[in-house]
Structure 1
Amino acid sequence: MMLSRGHRFCSPFRSLLVALCLTGLVSGCAVAPREELGGAQRIVARAYSLGADHLATEHYQVAYEALKRGEAHLNAGEYEQARSAFAIAEHFARVAIQAAQEEQDRLEREFKAKEEAAERRRQLEARQEASLSQDSPKSATRPRRAPEAKPAPEPPPEPEPEKVSHYDVQEGDTLWLIASRPEVYGDPLLWPVLYRANRDQIKDPRRVYEGQTLEVPRNMTDADLDEAREQARQSEIFPIGQLLPLPSSIK
Structure 2
Amino acid sequence: MQMFKRLLLIVVIFSLASGCAKPPDKSLGDTRDVVAQAYAAGAIQFAPGEYQLAKSALQAAELQVKNKEYKKASRTLELAQRYSREALKLTIERKEQLAAEQQKIAAEKQRIELAKQRELKRQAALKKKKAQKDRVKKRKPKKVTPVVAKKASSDVVKPKLVDSVEVLAGENLAMIAAREEVYQDALLWPLIYKANRDQIKDPGEIFSGQILMIPRDKTKEEVDAARQEAQTLKLFSH
Normalization by structure 2: what TM-score?
Answer: 0.46
Normalization by structure 1: what TM-score?
Answer: 0.44
